[in-house]
Amino acid sequence: MFGRNFKLFTLFGFDVSIDLSWVFLALLIVWSLATGVFPHYLSGLSPQAYWWLAIAGALGLFASIVAHEFVHSLVARRFGLPMEGITLFIFGGVAKMNDEPPSPKAEFFMAIAGPLASAAIGTGILLIGRLVPADGLQGAVKVLLRYLGTINLVLAGFNLIPAFPLDGGRILRSALWAWKGDIRKATRIAAACGSVFGWVLMGMGVLNLFTGGFIGGLWYILIGMFIHHASDVSYRQLVVKQTLKGEPVQRFMTDHPLTVPPEITVERFVNDFVYRYHHKMFPVQKNGMKPSCISTGDIRELPREQWPAHTIAEFMHVCSEENTVGRNTDAVVTLSKMQKTGNSRFIVTDDKGALCGVVTLKDLLGFLSLKLDLEKEHGL
């Protein structure tokens, strides 16, 4: 969402990843717990003890968010919706879906599952905490459990706010979808609620800044900006998917694309192809052979003075799923692969694996722009 993700582990077939932004959040949480929250509710401990409690609290929050998103993913799987995994980032976590829910019923149960899980976890932890004595080391455990129970209830309550793409916003969308029979209109209304809620949070943040609550105000502003942006992006993503879905990629590809001969030197490749056509990746083909690929990244480590002494044949490689699609591949699937791999230019092959074209992100977005312009929907 914000940058590069790192896979942590796999849980029941779901990859759990972490965005680098989560590191910032984890450090902020540990610091605030160790220097503010736990010393306020639990006096007499050493600084080291407060820091260890804070680390335990941050790990507990980490597990709570994973559990919340994991339940979303399990329900999605139950309704046949493929999930890419779970990613933790600065504002929490997200279960990544490859497609929209198949029905309002599926949307509702997927959305409500997370807050219910968080509420159940929070209530259970608080009940356990009531059984723990309040003196000595057990007192520290009691305060830790109280924090984790409360934070889970807060997580459940916040997510139930009817502001898309929060869970409450998805519940609202499911109701509007069932009522209007149109997921696009339902998403537009729910996303508008999310956008308004984002502005409200930003307004509260500005108010806090002027009344002395700098840290709290800053967080209100950041969260508000995120929700406002996410609501708008979520709706536009739905429009893109609905516009491109069902369109084969061969409709957008460039036929008879420019290919690089394998025998030319790296110097000629750079001067006659890269600098002239401004692409980072080209298909390599000769005498009907199946296409290979050459990119600027393949030759980046080769010193400039050695370019005339080496040929493309030495650096080309077999095209892979990372940069290749079949001509009948759905345009939505192709766009998803572009987003996932970071490659904006893909080789297109026929049923036998032979080169038949090249498709770019610009091709897909150009079609999308024209179609939306000719078929304008009021309020898009």
Contacts of 320 (CB under 8 A, 6+ apart): none
- Among left, alpha and beta (phi > 0; psi -120 to 50; other), residue 321 is alpha
For residue 2, the model assigns a pLDDT of: 44
Residue 131: burial class (beta carbons within 10 Å; 0-12, 13-18, 19+): exposed
For 124, the token pair is 């259970």
Average pLDDT per 10 consecutive residues for the chain, totaling 380 residues = 65 76 80 86 86 92 89 87 73 69 91 94 94 78 92 93 92 94 92 94 91 80 88 85 85 88 93 92 79 90 93 89 89 84 88 88 84 60
What pLDDT shows up at residue 378? 46
Q: What amino acid is encoded at 249 in this protein?
A: V
Q: With contact defined as beta carbons under 8 Å apart, do 377 and 371 qualify?
A: no
Indicate the CATH number of 249-374 among 3.20.20.80, 4.10.520.10, 3.30.360.10, 3.10.580.10: 3.10.580.10
pLDDT score for 288? 61
CA 190 to chain CA mean position, Å? 20
Q: Judge if the upstream peptide bond of residue 101 is cis by omega within 30 degrees of 0.
A: no
Q: What does the pLDDT read at residue 93?
A: 67
pLDDT at 170: 93
Q: What is the value of pTM for the model shown?
A: 0.77
Q: Give residue 289's pLDDT.
A: 67
Task: Determine the Cα angle at 159 with ends 158 and 160, to 5°.
Answer: 90
Q: Where are the domains of the chain?
A: 1-160, 163-244, 249-374
pLDDT of residue 200: 94
